[in-house]
Structure 1
């Protein structure tokens, strides 16, 4: 497993993590292949999800693919058209009243585009998001709260005690384009 940045290493000591965060943590550090090559790991996710016919190049935005593989491996139901970030507004149940560790966050990017990732924490103006296709990899980045259009909570039989709001320091630049 790739090491997390120092500001987020507390995640490795937190147990039990929400299942989607645990699955996402295993994939931290996965990156797109450079140039015309494709990362077989990312393409393997599409194959595992039965989406290989529509997702066949890692240069295609893959934040939705990442969210889908994490949700599937965590035993969660996927929204229809999981490759489209904004489809995740239909995932799970509403969590907007109090975002917490493991929630799915959906962001607008332009008029019709979007981005999807997992809530790791928040500071005064941004969510800290564990997601795919962030700087061409699985990373944690800060995204302005005012871009968030939905907070969706996975359906739990019993939510882990760690599924709660997390306050973090406002360190690092804000992302403006997660591709």
Structure 2
């Protein structure tokens, strides 16, 4: 992302001042605002992610009305040069990505429970009650959402040749409501 400050919500502009953001974070933030098409139409950009990934993903993902948080994470990881877990369209598959993270930090993949399965997003920050994640299919778009801490199933750290200095926990004030269903 050439200038994160121009696309980031004001409350997250501090990210643009971080040295060497993890590549997955940069790739995820570059997609902020990508939105599902209304009704039975499909957003060509979202379907294009599946085509770009190819193989089973391209075969299995056909409409943006299907939950696409796993597809978002897959395109972000692929563009960052990270290997994908088996069945990357399924949010819960991301619990096999990278290596376990003892405490979530910037750029970690967070896997959450939800009533009808799971949700996956990238850690940006945290407050007392929630993790702030950039993810797909959050309000039918790529956005930053607050997801309750108690819903966290797993935190996974990408493999780094050299971990960027920005990979650490960031504590922010609670802002906005908690996400309750990302589908």
TM-score bin, normalised by smaller chain? over 0.9
> TM-score, normalised to structure 2's length?
0.94
The ranges of structure 1 where at least 4 consecutive aligned residues each deviate by more than 3 angstroms after the TM superposition are none
The residue number in structure 2 matching 1:116 is 120
List aligned pairs for 1:31-42, cutoff 5 A.
Answer: 31-42=35-46
1:12 positional shift: 2.2
Aligned residues: 177
The residue number in structure 1 matching 2:32 is 28
Deviation by residue 1:55-80 (Cα, 9 ceiling, x = unmatched): 01000000000000000000001000
CA distance in 2: counterparts of 1:148 and 1:113, whole angstroms: 12
1:91 aligns with 2:87: no
Query: Where does the alignment leave 5 or more consecutive residues of structure 1 unmatched?
Result: none
Of 139-148 and 49-58, the range deviating more from structure 2: 49-58
1:3 positional shift: 1.8
CA distance in 2: counterparts of 1:85 and 1:43, whole angstroms: 17
Of 142-151 and 49-58, the range deviating more from structure 2: 49-58
* Aligned with 2:170 (options 152, 162, 166): 166
SS at match of 1:53: helix
CA distance in 2: counterparts of 1:44 and 1:3, whole angstroms: 21
CA distance in 2: counterparts of 1:91 and 1:46, whole angstroms: 19
* Aligned with 2:75 (options 36, 60, 69): 69
Query: Where does the alignment leave 5 or more consecutive residues of structure 2 unmatched?
Result: none
More helix by share: 2
SS at match of 2:60: coil
